[in-house]
Amino acid sequence: MGIIGWIILGLLAGLIAKAIMPGDDPGGAIVTIIIGIVGAIIGGFLAGALLGRDVNEEFFDLATWVSAIIGSLILLAIYRAVAGGRAIRR
């Protein structure tokens, strides 16, 4: 699966991560989508490095989706922890 596949997967993983962890995000929807894309790529690399699992071959493989969603959740949690304190709360 190429970079275009990871971008599409990241968009969907970002939406799923946002549904799992709802709330106000500093930066809005665009930042959440970017976090999904980067999180999916990071999740794929981590699955390959830590688990020895090749998640780059199939778009519809369960391991690919799980690694992308977990990567997006981790990155979303880190982003909220770092940028959440800077957001103006009303």
Q: Tell me the residue range of the domain where 8 lies.
A: 3-83
How many domains does the chain contain in total?
Answer: 1
Residue 65, domain member (yes or no): yes
Got the DSSP string for 11-67?
HHHHHHHHHHS-S--TTHHHHHHHHHHHHHHHHHHHHHHHH----SS-TT-HHHHHH
- 70 band by pLDDT with thresholds 50, 70 and 90: confident
- pLDDT, greater one: 82 or 48: 82
Residue 90, domain member (yes or no): no
pLDDT at position 87 is 52
Residue 14, domain member (yes or no): yes
Q: What mean pLDDT do residues 37-62 have?
A: 74
pLDDT at position 53 is 67
pLDDT at position 18 is 82
Residue 88, domain member (yes or no): no
Round to the nearest angstrom and report the end-to-end CA distance of the chain: 43
User: Is 57 a residue whose pLDDT tops 70?
Assistant: no
In the chain, pLDDT over 90 holds for what percent of residues? Answer: 0
User: Is 89 a residue whose pLDDT tops 60?
Assistant: no
- Rounded to whole angstroms, the Cα distance separating 74 from 71 reads 5
